[in-house]
Amino acid sequence: MEIKWPEIITNILGFLLLFFGLRRFAWGPILGLLDARREKIGKDFAAAAEAKQQAEAIRADYESKLREIDAMSRKKIEEAMREAGRLSGELKEKAREESNAILAKAQAEIERERAKARVALRDDMVQMVLKGVEKVLHERLTPGKQEELVSRFIDELEGIKA
């Protein structure tokens, strides 16, 4: 087989022209596009890393705020429990004082009623004695009559007691 030099040279020249033409007009812009793409991807990764750091910082901030809110809520609950205990104690003490006052009033009322009953009983006894004395004075006082009057008086007294 014979080597065709003019064809090989033409092919080499065509290849070189194509290579330099592509290198000048296509390769540069393609590499430029790839470099720009690489840069953009790098910036996107950097932005994503920064966004991740910011998200972590925000998350940490939210967690600390949640802990603060939790501590504040526990504190408020404890304060409410102490206040409820204090109010409960005050209410118990007030109820105890009121019940003691009602009991004292009732005892005083009982004592007044008892005194009234004694006075009424004494007045009734005085009236009965006076009626008995009046009957004795109105009738003649013979020993038989006197015994009869005293006996009737005693019967009347027993009738009143019953």
Q: For residue 78, what pLDDT band results from cuts at 50, 70 and 90?
A: very high
Question: Is the pLDDT score of 157 beyond 80?
Answer: no
pLDDT at residue 162 in the model? 52
The SS3 call for residue 2 is coil
Question: Is the pLDDT score of 23 beyond 70?
Answer: yes
DSSP state of 26: I
pLDDT digits (tens, 9 = 90+) for 102-127: 999 999 999 999 988 888 887 787 78
The SS3 call for residue 53 is helix
Q: For residue 161, what pLDDT band results from cuts at 50, 70 and 90?
A: low
Question: Is the pLDDT score of 137 beyond 60?
Answer: yes
pLDDT at residue 119 in the model? 83
Residue 133 and residue 162 in contact, taking contact as beta carbons nearer than 8 Å: no
Dist CA 7 CA 16 (whole Å): 14
Dist CA 102 CA 96 (whole Å): 10
Question: Is the pLDDT score of 31 beyond 80?
Answer: yes
Nearest C-alpha neighbor of 123 from the set 131, 137, 154: 131
- 134/80: higher pLDDT: 80
- Rounded to two decimals, what is the model's pTM? 0.41
Mean per-residue pLDDT of the chain? 87
Rg, C-alpha atoms of the chain: 62
pLDDT at residue 132 in the model? 76
Domain locations along the chain: 8-161
pLDDT at residue 131 in the model? 81
